[in-house]
Amino acid sequence: MQDKVVLITGGAGGIGQATAKLFLDQGAKVVLVDINESSLEKAMQSLTSNPENVAIIQADVTNESDVKNYVQETVSHFGRIDVFFNNAGINGPVAEITDLEKDAFEQIMSINVTGVFLGLKHVLAQMKEQGHGRIINTASNAAYIGSAGMVGYIASKHAVAGITKTAALEAAPAGIRVNAVAPAAIDTQMLADIQNNLTPGEPEKSGEAIKQGIPVGRFGTPEEVAQIVRFLASDEASFVHGALYNVDGGMQAD
Ligand SMILES: NC(=O)c1ccc[n+]([C@@H]2O[C@H](COP(=O)([O-])OP(=O)(O)OC[C@H]3O[C@@H](n4cnc5c(N)ncnc54)[C@H](O)[C@@H]3O)[C@@H](O)[C@H]2O)c1
- Whether 49 has a pLDDT exceeding 90, the answer reads no
Give yes or no: 245 in active site: no
Q: Which atom of ligand 1 is nearest to the CA of 15?
A: 16
Query: Would you state the pLDDT for residue 50?
Result: 76
- Whether 51 has a pLDDT exceeding 90, the answer reads no
Mean pLDDT of the residues in the chain: 97
Q: What is the pLDDT of residues 131-188, one digit of tens each?
A: 999 999 999 999 999 999 999 999 999 999 999 999 999 999 999 999 999 999 999 9
Ligand 1: residue of 7, 8, 15 to mutate (most ligand atoms within 8 A of CB) is 15
Q: What is the pLDDT of residues 115-134, one digit of tens each?
A: 999 999 999 999 999 999 99
Long-range contacts of range 220-224, CB-CB < 8 Å, 24 or more positions apart? 220/183, 220/184, 220/185, 220/186, 220/187, 220/247, 220/248, 220/249, 221/18, 221/186, 221/187, 222/14, 222/15, 222/17, 222/18, 222/19, 222/186, 222/187, 222/188, 223/18, 223/22, 224/186
Q: What is the pLDDT of residues 68-110, one digit of tens each?
A: 999 999 999 999 999 999 999 999 999 999 999 999 999 999 9
Ligand 1: residue of 34, 41, 111, 157 to mutate (most ligand atoms within 8 A of CB) is 34
- Mean pLDDT, range 189-200, rounded to an integer: 93
Full set of structural domains in the chain with CATH: 5-183+222-245 (3.40.50.720), 185-219 (no CATH)
Query: Would you state the pLDDT for residue 123?
Result: 98
